[in-house]
């Protein structure tokens, strides 16, 4: 009788209805070393946690009585249409969480009609990934190897396989101090399939080589441009100075990213760095974001600050750990549906004039959260939104950065800067 009652109390398996449900499931079902590999950040994991917390400091300012009967989530990246501005970031070793690894991930991305950035550290071969999802939109992420010939061979290979862009990761000239991986000694058991010397065999241990160049510089980008026709996207930019250099060196895109908090700890959250980068490029190249996105509201906020789309990292691995390809599909569907709802509930629709709003503090050191419900005319929606700003007496806060973003006409900047300085002296 007791066993029967216990069985009845347990009931059917609970549905997973948000991305954090998938995270909890992964925590319960993955081994400790794999779980730590996915969840771990560098050092004290300050940036990893701040990536999520920073989104929650932004508040939405919805507008109503607007026709949202037809909400269109489609957009384009590098000229290719995707079903929603929600794509898959490069993460390595998917076979740690599901037997088919990156092949399942690629199939899910193809089914969803979005872009999947395949990592240099994929645990499946590039050929197998392409065979698994031949119609999918794929970009390739490159960790630049010291051997230029190896880089050239790999780039030509991905180009011949139909990958549509080359994503060069900048923020990992050395590996971040990931304490959990060091304690678990995980990396000595990982092998690479595609990052190999032409003189060596098919698979090599992750740490029996120096896989990432420590000497890569801006001037080296011209060499990559000379050997490929693929658009080049730079991943890991967090400052306006580097964003301006990216434009100067004629790359086609930037992914604002801090590597999920896994490289240099205590840097800006990706969403906090986005405004600065978007302002610096002045619309000349596309800007994307990864890090900390967990809800449809987060996607909306990133787009409002100027991102063309977002890329998901850890949540994809949680979905993969749940049900492989079908788990990744569920993660993408949930986030896309949440984003659709966020659009509708904030009154966002395409082909509507842009609205510019700014609410400055009325007293004290805090300001109300400020949002622009802005959608530019065009085939797909574009938003602009200002972040929550606190402690304006500190000149390093986002206030001055925000005033210089494309949200505001240039003629209004001196007025707002003067007003901000006055508040600083009064505070």
- Give residue 190's pLDDT: 60
Q: What is the pLDDT of residues 275-289, one digit of tens each?
A: 999 999 999 999 999
Spell out the residues 6+ positions from residue 204 whose beta carbon is closer than 8 angstroms to its own: 191, 192, 195, 196, 197
Position with higher pLDDT, 426 vs 272? 272
DSSP code of 255?
Answer: E
Position 192 scores a pLDDT of 53
Confidence tier at 399 by pLDDT (50, 70, 90): very low
Q: What pLDDT score was predicted for residue 12?
A: 56
Q: Length of the chain, please?
A: 427
Name the percent of the chain lying above pLDDT 70: 73
CA distance 47 to 261: 5
Query: Tens digits of per-residue pLDDT, 106-134?
Result: 999 999 999 999 999 999 999 999 999 99
Q: How many whole angstroms separate alpha carbon 17 and alpha carbon 213?
A: 41
Percent of the chain at pLDDT > 90 equals 64
- The average pLDDT across 171-176 equals 86
Radius of gyration of the chain (CA): 22
| 3-state secondary structure (DSSP) of residue 167 | strand
* Residue-averaged pLDDT of the chain: 80
pLDDT of 385 > 60? The answer is no
Residues 271 and 291: beta-carbon distance below 8 Å:
yes
pLDDT tens column, 49-69: 999 999 999 988 888 999 999
Q: Mean pLDDT throughout 3-27?
A: 74
* Segments of 210-364 assigned E as strands: 232-237, 253-256, 286-290, 310-312
* pLDDT tens by residue, 282-310: 999 999 999 999 999 999 999 999 999 99
Residue-wise pLDDT for 242-253, tens only, equals 999 999 999 999
Q: 118 - beta bridge partners?
A: 140
Is 310 within 8 Å of 86 (Cβ atoms)? yes
* pTM exceeds 0.85, yes or no: no
Q: Which residues are catalytic?
A: 259
């Amino acid at each position: 009788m007791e066993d029967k009652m216990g069985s009845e109390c347990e009931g059917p398996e609970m549905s997973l209805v948000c991305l954090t449900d998938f995270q909890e499931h992964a925590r319960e079902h993955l081994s400790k070393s794999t779980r730590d590999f996915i969840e771990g950040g560098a050092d004290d994991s300050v940036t990893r946690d701040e990536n999520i917390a920073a989104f929650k400091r932004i508040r939405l300012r919805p507008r109503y009585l607007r026709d949202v009967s037809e909400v269109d989530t489609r957009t384009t990246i590098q000229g290719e249409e995707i079903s929603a501005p929600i794509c898959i970031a490069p993460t390595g070793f998917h076979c740690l969480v599901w037997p088919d690894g990156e092949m399942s991930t690629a199939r899910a991305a193809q089914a969803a009609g979005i872009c999947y950035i395949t990592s240099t550290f994929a645990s499946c071969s590039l050929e197998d990934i392409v065979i698994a999802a031949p119609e999918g939109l794929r970009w390739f992420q490159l960790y630049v190897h010291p051997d230029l010939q190896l880089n050239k061979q790999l780039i030509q290979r991905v180009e011949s396989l139909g990958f549509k862009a080359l994503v060069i990761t900048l923020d990992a000239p050395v590996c971040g101090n990931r304490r959990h991986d060091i304690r678990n000694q995980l990396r000595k058991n990982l092998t690479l399939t595609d990052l190999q010397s032409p003189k060596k065999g098919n698979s090599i241990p992750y740490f029996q080589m120096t896989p990432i160049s420590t000497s890569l510089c801006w001037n080296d980008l011209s060499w990559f441009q000379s050997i490929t026709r693929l658009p080049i996207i730079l991943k890991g930019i967090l400052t306006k100075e580097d964003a301006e250099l990216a434009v100067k060196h004629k790359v086609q895109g930037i992914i604002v990213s801090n590597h999920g908090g896994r490289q240099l700890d205590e840097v800006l959250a990706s969403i906090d760095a986005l405004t600065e980068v978007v302002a610096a490029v002045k619309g000349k190249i596309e800007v994307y974001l990864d890090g900390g996105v967990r809800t449809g509201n987060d996607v909306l906020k990133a787009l409002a600050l100027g991102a063309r789309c977002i890329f998901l990292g850890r949540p994809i691995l949680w979905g993969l750990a749940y049900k492989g390809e079908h788990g990744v599909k569920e993660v993408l569907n949930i986030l896309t549906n949440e984003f659709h709802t966020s659009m509708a509930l904030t009154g966002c629709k395409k082909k509507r004039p842009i609205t510019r709003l700014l609410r400055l503090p009325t007293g004290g050191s805090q300001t109300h959260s400020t949002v622009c419900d802005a959608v530019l005319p065009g085939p797909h929606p574009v938003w602009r939104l200002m972040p929550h700003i606190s402690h304006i007496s500190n000149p390093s806060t986002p206030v001055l950065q925000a005033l210089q973003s494309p949200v505001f006409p240039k003629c209004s900047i001196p007025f707002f800067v003067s007003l901000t300085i006055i508040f600083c002296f009064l505070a």
